[in-house]
Amino acid sequence: MEIQHLRHATFILTVSGRKLIVDPMLDKVHTRPPIKLKRNETPNPTVELPYEDKKLGKFINSLDGIIITHTHSDHYDATAKSLLPKSIPLFCQPEDQNKLAADGFLNIIPVNPDFDWKELRFTRTRGRHGHGVIRYRMGCVSGFVIHSKGEPTLYIAGDTVWCPEVEKALEKHNPDVIIVYAGAARFDLGKPITMTSADILKVCQKAPNSRVVAIHMEAINHCGLTREALGHFLAVNGLTSRVLIPKDGEVIKF
């Protein structure tokens, strides 16, 4: 299994010979307005993709499938809608099927809760995109567990905080690798809507034999948790060897 982190929640997953792009945010740097915050008004995305258009085009042309955990613009944007091939399998949550169909995708597979494709089995999980009232206003979000014979079991938690749904997914699937969407994203009011350092600690405590990959940082203006700050927290808690924090463009193999 190979994970190539591109930016924010976007990565290329290669497993059992199949190549999928996950949560494609492909817009150019600073082409979208900032999420309204008093403390940070940097336009989004705040950083560019690590590759030139020509190399990104090669990635896109080599894809076997797409996974979209939910359709917020930092996980599926206008450039992704334009560039991604419309005929390859697109795995999503049922709530997003109609939107993606309206965008022209022709092979949409709403996973509910399982789907077998080629050598892979997809199982969709739930999460909570925030706390309290904000959680409901943020809408439905999903994660995905990917099983394949001879490969590590992968759990993509998606945009969620630590919650009973995440705990249940860890207990049920016992993943070898967990991808958490960190960044501690938040608005001016309310608690974070993605995982904080403390949430990642809880994931590690619940799944002591799993390797964790933390992404979803330093690309959208309301994500306040940096790689450096998370790295320091992990060092203090003795988790540096268990939790990987990839740079944009970095390749990780399991």
Q: Is residue 18 domain-resident?
A: yes
Tokens linked to 163: 């919650």
Report the alpha-carbon distance of residue 93 to residue 91 in Å, rounded.
Answer: 7
Q: Is residue 254 part of a domain?
A: no
User: Has residue 132 been placed in a domain?
Assistant: yes
Q: Does a structural domain hold residue 122?
A: yes
Predicted confidence pLDDT, tens digits, the chain (254 residues): 999 999 999 999 999 999 999 999 999 999 999 998 767 889 999 999 998 777 888 889 999 999 999 999 999 999 999 999 999 999 999 999 999 999 999 999 999 999 999 999 999 999 999 999 989 899 999 999 999 999 999 999 999 999 999 999 999 999 999 999 999 999 988 999 999 999 999 999 999 999 999 999 999 999 999 999 999 999 999 999 999 999 999 999 99
User: Is residue 115 a part of any domain in this protein?
Assistant: yes
Is position 239 within any domain? yes
Evaluate whether 209 touches 245 at the Cβ level (below 8 Å).
no
Q: Which domain holds residue 156?
A: 2-249
Query: Within 10 A of 18 (CB to CB), how many other CB atoms are there?
Result: 17
Rounded Cα gap, residues 49 and 145, in angstroms = 26
- Contact indicator for 47, 38 with CB cutoff of 8 Å: no
Residues facing residue 155 across a β-bridge = 145, 178
Residue 170's domain is classified under what CATH number? 3.60.15.10
Residue 154 backbone phi and psi in degrees, to 5: -110, 135
- Domains held by the chain: number: 1
- Nearest alpha carbon to residue 225 among 201, 207, 249: 201
